[in-house]
């Protein structure tokens, strides 16, 4: 046996010999081209000869290593491997990808079927028997339908007792080929089931018998859900718990999550039949996040159905809040990816509130009684009904209802989103506001009916009831506001919104500046930064301490000074010097201004001119504007986020330090969106929202990204201020193409009464700005962006308005309407600091 080296030498010798012969054969071929058969035979003989030369395995091996053979073998092996890998990919990835699941959660009531306690246990024979029966019926419905080929299975998840019947909760799964359309739509799935029940309806009942199963057609609800909802709720999930409140009024503790390790956890609550569930949250620790990946969602059902969301908690709770279901079941669905998971609270079975009372209001100005929203102070459920009958002592007296944060307005074309009211046969809609109102009924014995009409749980309300003199609603020397409040007559036209809806400040002649005599100048002119009196008396002693009001600057110490625009003006006005603290805002780097290249109503901005301007992109498309408030907060308009998908921060990005679309210095992801809780989608009142970034923008962006200054409540804009609206929105109403360069247009602020003359009812939270010709204005796409004002040439820029709405764009005498930012200063600080 030779050494490995010797073997190699032998092998190479054999190789050499074979190579020489091959070379000879190639030479032969080149001269005997005409006799191909002959040549092939020769080649074959030579080949046989060369094959015979090496002996045994070694020879074969040596032969295999011959270069052309090696290439052939490698090619064959590669081919086989590729075929195998491709087949595996096809089986495990593409095939699976090309079929995707469509998941649904549903519920319906089986009428007149007796509920037995064994149905609570999914392992019991009774449950399995009943579930199989229902499953068979539902499967039959879908196997006979147009989506039969896609239908996979129905899983009955819960049977609970519902008024004289059984409430069935179920999952349904369809397998949909990826490229096939139409997919299984939510509406279609619901219609198929309802149609089947409908065809089986007999007589005038709502109960149809499907293969003997009495299904109440009115109770059917089917919603599309995510695959993760299905997998985290069904068998094999790590965290699904069932709890019962078997005795009315006995609180069952819910402190079960300290040891919970997963991301999703579900607790199904059931109470005694005929009762409702009150859930009380005493402590809930959660990292404020996107409200999708991190949230506690409370459902008015036992499965996570979108149409049954009662409430979503995305912020930590330390005080107590409670909410009430509309039936005897509730689902708590925890989804928490970050931080500690701590939840403390309880739930109890409570009786449905019989909300009906007779109230006698005494004569005199005192409060006679209180009315409360059902289950007060719990949040209002989506369904409820109350009737209050009032009686005053004589026909000259009407009934006054004073609400803390709620207002009733006559119902228009739109549905009532936050409460439906019928007062002596006239319909009103309720909505939430940030101040008190008085609703006056000119009748001595009115009947007031209230029905809950919110999609989710809503804020509770309370009202003080009293009687009032119909012919003279307010006391002597008092004035009746449109909000129903009474204010002193001397407060009319004093420049302060005493009525809360500015009804004391309309039809006021423009305050004239009277600088002579003993009367002090009008409060609007006092210490507003402009010398209105020739002797300058309106601008003296502006830093002396005085009583606080909305038009006086409040120092951090709590004391107030007369000077209105004391914040960050470069002068120390407060004793504690707080007015010049946190002033790294509103100063763009000195920029070279561009030539006067006019675009409809505006001109191109210059890089770095508006470093607080941000562009908000939804699913990759420019959608709204915003302004930078700090290293991790932006401010924008609530209406940019008012629909379901729009409120999901995961679809949004903020483009910062950008002049031309597509050239942002920084693109930030959004962590959460805070929409004002009183935002009214019909009136655009409270049109303000805050966006928290996932990460602060890099400080190195310095001059090109900077916060705008936030005006204090007292901040006033005078004629000497310069105000500009900026954005990438359309340049005219008919425009089809958005500009790529950031546009700017200088606009003037209108008085509130001029604004009302143009638009009728505008709220105190709105302000108008524009030019009489309409030529310079904001438009679609500018929404949420800034209206920035500067008091002097080198002064800081303050965010005075947020682009909100208007009648078209650029129309004469129809200015743009902006959210009045100084009305929200404390709301903003409460959220961002």
Please count the other Cβ atoms lying within 10 Å of the Cβ belonging to residue 176.
Answer: 19
Q: Which residues of 517-544 are buried (b: 16+ CB within 10 A; e: fewer)?
A: eeeebbbbbbbbbeebeeeebbbeebbe
Nearer to ligand 4AZ among residue 216 and residue 777 (C-beta): 777
Query: Is 783 a residue that touches ligand 4AZ (CB under 6 A)?
Result: yes
Only one of the segments 109-117, 427-435, 576-584, 801-809 lies at the binding site for ligand 4AZ (rule: CB under 6 A); that segment is 801-809
Only one of the segments 56-64, 418-426, 600-608, 780-788 lies at the binding site for ligand 4AZ (rule: CB under 6 A); that segment is 780-788
Among this protein's residues, is 639 annotated catalytic?
yes
Only one of the segments 249-257, 533-541, 655-663, 805-813 lies at the binding site for ligand 4AZ (rule: CB under 6 A); that segment is 805-813
Query: Is 723 a residue that touches ligand 4AZ (CB under 6 A)?
Result: no
DSSP class per residue in 477-517: TEEE-TTS-EEEGGGTTSSS-SSSSSTTSSSPPPPP---SS
Interface pattern 613-642 for ligand 4AZ (x via CB under 6 A): ------------------------------
Q: Where are the beta strands (DSSP E) in 165-303?
A: 165-177, 207-210, 213-225, 240-245, 252-254, 264-271, 276-285, 295-299
Tokens of residue 433, six digits: 């506001």
For the bound state, the minimum distance from the C-beta of residue 731 to ligand 4AZ, rounded and expressed in Å, comes to 12
Annotated catalytic residue within 687, 788, 791, 804: 687
**Per the omega criterion (within 30 degrees of 0), is the bond before 182 cis?**
yes
Please count the other Cβ atoms lying within 10 Å of the Cβ belonging to residue 409.
Answer: 16
For the bound state, the minimum distance from the C-beta of residue 688 to ligand 4AZ, rounded and expressed in Å, comes to 14
Q: What are 351-355's contacts with CB under 8 Å, separation 24+? A: 351/248, 351/275, 351/276, 352/274, 352/275, 352/276, 353/384, 353/386, 355/384, 355/385, 355/386, 355/387, 355/450
User: Alpha helix (H) ranges present in 318-378?
Assistant: none
For the bound state, the minimum distance from the C-beta of residue 815 to ligand 4AZ, rounded and expressed in Å, comes to 8
Nearer to ligand 4AZ among residue 435 and residue 780 (C-beta): 780
What is the dihedral angle through the alpha carbons of 120, 121, 125, 129, rounded to the nearest 10 degrees? 50
Which of 809, 820, 822, 824 lies at the binding interface for ligand 4AZ (CB under 6 A)? 809
For the bound state, the minimum distance from the C-beta of residue 645 to ligand 4AZ, rounded and expressed in Å, comes to 18
For the bound state, the minimum distance from the C-beta of residue 94 to ligand 4AZ, rounded and expressed in Å, comes to 44
For the bound state, the minimum distance from the C-beta of residue 828 to ligand 4AZ, rounded and expressed in Å, comes to 21
Nearer to ligand 4AZ among residue 460 and residue 810 (C-beta): 810
For the bound state, the minimum distance from the C-beta of residue 634 to ligand 4AZ, rounded and expressed in Å, comes to 17
Please count the other Cβ atoms lying within 10 Å of the Cβ belonging to residue 576.
Answer: 12
Instruction: Measure CA of the first residue to CA of the last residue in the chain; give whole Å.
Output: 86
For the bound state, the minimum distance from the C-beta of residue 811 to ligand 4AZ, rounded and expressed in Å, comes to 8
Please count the other Cβ atoms lying within 10 Å of the Cβ belonging to residue 133.
Answer: 13
Query: Is 803 a residue that touches ligand 4AZ (CB under 6 A)?
Result: yes
CA-to-CA dists, residue 318 to 280, 284, 286, angstroms: 12, 7, 11
* Cross-strand pairs, 614: 626
Please count the other Cβ atoms lying within 10 Å of the Cβ belonging to residue 4.
Answer: 7
Smallest CA-to-CA distance from 613 within 738, 781, 749 is with 781
Residue 194 backbone class (left: φ over 0; alpha: ψ -120 to 50; beta: rest): alpha
Residue ranges in 28-87 that form contacts with ligand 4AZ under rule CB under 6 A: none
Query: Is 755 a residue that touches ligand 4AZ (CB under 6 A)?
Result: no
For the bound state, the minimum distance from the C-beta of residue 602 to ligand 4AZ, rounded and expressed in Å, comes to 12
Nearer to ligand 4AZ among residue 108 and residue 623 (C-beta): 623
Sign of the dihedral through C-alpha 217, 219, 224, 230: negative
For the bound state, the minimum distance from the C-beta of residue 804 to ligand 4AZ, rounded and expressed in Å, comes to 7
Annotated catalytic residue within 232, 275, 783, 804: 783
Query: Is 778 a residue that touches ligand 4AZ (CB under 6 A)?
Result: yes
Helix axes 186-199, 125-143, angle to 10 degrees: 100
Annotated catalytic residue within 418, 639, 666, 721: 639
Cβ-closest position to ligand 4AZ: 806
Which of 107, 334, 816, 822 lies at the binding interface for ligand 4AZ (CB under 6 A)? 816
Smallest CA-to-CA distance from 111 within 216, 218, 196 is with 216
Which of 777, 786, 788, 799 lies at the binding interface for ligand 4AZ (CB under 6 A)? 777
Nearer to ligand 4AZ among residue 389 and residue 780 (C-beta): 780
Query: Is 687 a residue that touches ligand 4AZ (CB under 6 A)?
Result: no
Q: Rounded to the nearest 5 degrees, what angle is found at the Cα of 21, between the Cα atoms of 18 and 27?
A: 145
Q: Where are the beta strands (DSSP E) in 133-201?
A: 151-162, 165-177
Among this protein's residues, is 783 annotated catalytic?
yes
Alpha-carbon distance of 205 to 402, in angstroms, equals 44
Nearer to ligand 4AZ among residue 216 and residue 782 (C-beta): 782
Nearer to ligand 4AZ among residue 305 and residue 778 (C-beta): 778
Nearer to ligand 4AZ among residue 564 and residue 639 (C-beta): 639
Smallest CA-to-CA distance from 234 within 104, 407, 141, 356 is with 104
Query: Is 779 a residue that touches ligand 4AZ (CB under 6 A)?
Result: yes
Tokens of residue 386, six digits: 């109350």
Alpha-carbon distance of 401 to 132, in angstroms, equals 55
Alpha-carbon distance of 390 to 423, in angstroms, equals 11
Nearer to ligand 4AZ among residue 494 and residue 782 (C-beta): 782
Residue with tokens 């001119």: 609
Only one of the segments 63-71, 407-415, 449-457, 779-787 lies at the binding site for ligand 4AZ (rule: CB under 6 A); that segment is 779-787
Alpha-carbon distance of 785 to 696, in angstroms, equals 20
Smallest CA-to-CA distance from 371 within 310, 282, 496, 460 is with 460
Nearer to ligand 4AZ among residue 446 and residue 774 (C-beta): 774
For the bound state, the minimum distance from the C-beta of residue 620 to ligand 4AZ, rounded and expressed in Å, comes to 19
Smallest CA-to-CA distance from 777 within 736, 733, 738 is with 733
Query: Is 806 a residue that touches ligand 4AZ (CB under 6 A)?
Result: yes
What is the dihedral angle through the alpha carbons of 635, 640, 644, 649, rounded to the nearest 10 degrees? -40
For the bound state, the minimum distance from the C-beta of residue 690 to ligand 4AZ, rounded and expressed in Å, comes to 19
Among this protein's residues, is 687 annotated catalytic?
yes
Catalytic residue ranges: 639, 687, 783
Report the interface residues with ligand 4AZ, using CB under 6 A: 777-780, 782-783, 803, 805-806, 809, 816
């Amino acid at each position: 046996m030779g050494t490995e080296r010797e073997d190699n030498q032998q092998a190479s010798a054999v190789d050499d010999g074979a190579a020489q012969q091959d070379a000879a054969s190639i030479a032969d071929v080149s001269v005997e081209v005409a006799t191909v058969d002959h040549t092939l035979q020769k080649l074959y003989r030579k080949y046989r000869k060369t094959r015979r030369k090496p002996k045994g395995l070694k020879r074969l091996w040596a032969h295999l290593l011959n270069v052309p053979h090696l290439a052939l073998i490698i090619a064959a092996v590669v081919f086989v491997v590729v075929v195998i890998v491709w087949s595996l990919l096809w089986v495990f990835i593409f095939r699976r990808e090309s079929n995707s699941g469509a998941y649904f959660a549903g519920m319906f009531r089986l009428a007149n079927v007796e509920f037995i306690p064994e149905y609570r246990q999914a392992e019991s024979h009774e449950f399995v028997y009943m579930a199989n029966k229902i499953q068979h019926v539902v499967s039959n419905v879908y196997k006979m339908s147009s989506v039969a080929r896609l239908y996979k299975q129905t899983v009955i998840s819960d049977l609970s007792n519902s008024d004289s019947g059984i409430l069935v909760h179920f999952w349904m799964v369809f397998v949909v080929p990826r490229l096939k359309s139409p997919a299984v739509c939510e509406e279609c799935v619901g219609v198929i089931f309802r149609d089947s029940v409908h065809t089986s309806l007999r007589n005038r009942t709502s109960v149809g018998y499907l293969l003997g199963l009495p299904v109440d057609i009115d109770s059917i609800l089917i919603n599309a859900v995510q695959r993760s909802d299905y997998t985290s709720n069904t068998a094999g999930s790590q965290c699904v718990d069932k709890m019962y409140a078997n005795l009315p009024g006995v609180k069952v503790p819910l402190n079960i999550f300290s040891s919970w390790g997963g991301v999703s956890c579900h607790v199904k609550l059931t109470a005694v039949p005929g009762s409702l569930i009150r859930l009380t949250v005493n402590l809930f620790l959660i990292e404020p996040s996107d409200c999708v990946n991190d949230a506690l969602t409370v459902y008015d059902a036992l499965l996570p159905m979108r149409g049954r969301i009662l409430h979503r908690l995305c912020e930590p709770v330390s005080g107590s809040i409670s909410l009430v279901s509309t039936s005897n079941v509730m689902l708590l669905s925890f989804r928490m990816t970050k931080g500690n998971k701590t939840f403390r609270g309880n739930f109890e079975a409570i009786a449905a509130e019989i909300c009906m009372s007779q109230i006698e209001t005494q004569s005199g100005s005192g409060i006679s009684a209180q009315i409360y929203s059902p289950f007060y102070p719990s949040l209002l459920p989506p369904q409820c009904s109350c009737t209050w009958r009032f009686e005053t002592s004589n026909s000259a007296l009407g009934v006054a209802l004073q609400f803390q944060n709620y207002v009733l307005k006559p119902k228009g074309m739109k549905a009532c989103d936050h409460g439906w009211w019928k007062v002596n046969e006239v319909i009103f809609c309720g909505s939430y506001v940030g101040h008190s109102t008085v609703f006056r009924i000119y009748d001595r014995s009115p009947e007031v009916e209230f029905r809950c009409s919110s999609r989710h749980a809503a804020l509770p309300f309370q009202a003080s009831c009293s009687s009032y003199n119909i012919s003279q609603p307010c006391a002597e020397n008092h004035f009746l506001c449109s909000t129903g409040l009474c204010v002193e007559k001397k407060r009319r036209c004093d420049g302060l919104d005493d009525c809360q809806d500015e009804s004391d400040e309309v039809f006021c002649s423009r305050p004239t500046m009277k600088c002579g005599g003993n009367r002090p100048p009008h409060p609007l002119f006092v210490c507003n930064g402009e010398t209105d009196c020739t002797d300058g008396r309106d601008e003296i002693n502006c830093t002396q301490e005085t009583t606080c009001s909305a038009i006086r600057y409040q120092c951090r110490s709590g004391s107030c000074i007369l000077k209105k625009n004391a914040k960050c003006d470069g002068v120390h006005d407060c004793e504690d010097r707080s007015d010049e603290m946190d002033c790294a805002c509103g100063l763009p780097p000195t920029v070279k201004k561009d030539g006067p290249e006019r675009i409809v109503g505006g001109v191109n901005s210059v890089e770095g001119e508006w470093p607080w301007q941000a562009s908000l992109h939804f699913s990759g498309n420019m959608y709204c504007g915003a302004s930078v408030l700090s290293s991790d907060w932006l401010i924008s308009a609530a209406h940019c986020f008012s629909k379901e998908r729009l409120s999901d921060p995961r679809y949004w990005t903020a483009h910062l330090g950008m002049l031309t679309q597509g050239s942002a210095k920084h693109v930030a992801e959004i962590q959460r969106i805070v929409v004002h809780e009183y935002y009214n989608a019909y009136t655009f009142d409270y049109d303000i929202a805050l966006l928290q970034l996932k990460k602060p923008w890099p400080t190195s962006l310095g001059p090109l990204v900077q916060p705008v200054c936030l005006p204090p409540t007292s901040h006033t804009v005078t004629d000497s201020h310069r105000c500009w609206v900026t954005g990438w929105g359309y340049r005219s109403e008919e425009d089809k193409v958005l500009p790529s360069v950031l546009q700017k247009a200088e606009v003037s602020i209108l008085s509130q009464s001029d604004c009302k003359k143009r638009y009728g009812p505008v709220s105190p939270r709105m302000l108008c700005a524009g030019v009489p010709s309409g030529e310079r204005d904001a438009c679609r796409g500018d929404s949420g962006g800034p209206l920035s004002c500067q008091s002097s040439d080198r002064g800081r820029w303050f965010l005075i308005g947020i682009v909100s709405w208007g009648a078209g764009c650029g129309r004469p005498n129809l200015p743009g309407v902006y959210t009045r930012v100084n009305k929200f200063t404390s709301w903003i600080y409460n959220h961002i600091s």
